[in-house]
Amino acid sequence: MAAAEEPVLSRRAYGGSKGRLEAFSDGVLAVVITLLALDLHVQADGPGSLAPQLRHEWPSFAAFALSFFVVGVIWVNHHALFALVARVDRTVVFLNLLLLMWVTTIPFSTSALADYLRTGGLDTHLAVLLYGISNEGMALSFTLILRHLLRRQLLRWSPGAGEARGSLRRFGLGTALYPVITLVGFFAPVVMLLLYAAQTGFYMVEQTPILPPSTSD
């Protein structure tokens, strides 16, 4: 009898960890979004006045603004997704860690992108690739989390098979688009920034309807 009850107790324990998972994720995302600002700087005793310095540093400001909203949308969608979750299991916890790992690379890839947009050269391609990898890893991790939640029926409501597939396709759109946008960046980095901004704007307004409106948060 004790052996039969053990899985139930284990599931309840992980169900109670949902709040800890969200709190830990919020803390990591707060640190990441703050670190983005560390790459913004001007020098009062530097060459030239403030206005020329600001013009010279435009890649840093553009990359900061883009990544700030990227991380902001990650936080909003992470909250929206886990508001639909009834409980989490061990796999969700580790998939969430994978997501956070990729998110914590964004300040580094943002700084590298800004530096090499400013200086140019062949290394700009590698900087573009690093930024694309950060975003692709994040998007893939998000999609894996939702896929597991749907397959293991960990949501507060069980959507139909067709609705689940449609939601997963919309939620995982970035996994297909981010590589394409990164490829564009090899030839036109500024256009890449604009496309990333458009993709981020899409996720600002996209709602993945995997719960009825009357029960969603």
What integer pLDDT is reported at residue 186 of this predicted model? 93
215 in any annotated domain: no
Measure the CA angle with vertex 77, ends 73 and 78; round to 5°.
115
Taking the C-alpha atoms of residue 86 and residue 88, their distance in angstroms, rounded to an integer, is 7
pLDDT digits (tens, 9 = 90+) for 44-90: 766 677 887 778 788 889 999 999 999 999 999 999 889 989 999 99
210 in any annotated domain: no
213 in any annotated domain: no
Whether 209 shows a pLDDT value over 60: the answer reads: no
For residue 110, how many C-alpha atoms fall within 13 Å in the half-sphere facing its CB?
30
Taking the C-alpha atoms of residue 210 and residue 207, their distance in angstroms, rounded to an integer, is 9
104 in any annotated domain: yes
211 in any annotated domain: no
Whether 212 shows a pLDDT value over 70: the answer reads: no
216 in any annotated domain: no
What integer pLDDT is reported at residue 51 of this predicted model? 80
Q: How many domains does the chain have?
A: 1
The percentage of the chain sitting over the pLDDT mark of 90, rounded to a whole number, equals 54
pLDDT digits (tens, 9 = 90+) for 114-168: 999 887 778 999 999 999 999 999 999 999 999 999 989 898 877 767 777 777 7
Please give the model's pTM, rounded to 2 decimal places: 0.83
Task: State the helix-helix crossing angle for 58-82 and 18-35, rounded to 10 degrees.
Answer: 170
153 in any annotated domain: yes
Identify the domain containing residue 201 by its residue range. Answer: 2-38+48-205
What integer pLDDT is reported at residue 166 of this predicted model? 73
Q: Considering only 37-46, 83-92, 177-186, which range has the smallest mean pLDDT?
A: 37-46
170 in any annotated domain: yes
What integer pLDDT is reported at residue 131 of this predicted model? 96
Q: Considering only 15-19, 24-28, 194-198, which range has the smallest mean pLDDT?
A: 15-19
97 vs 162, which has greater pLDDT? Answer: 97
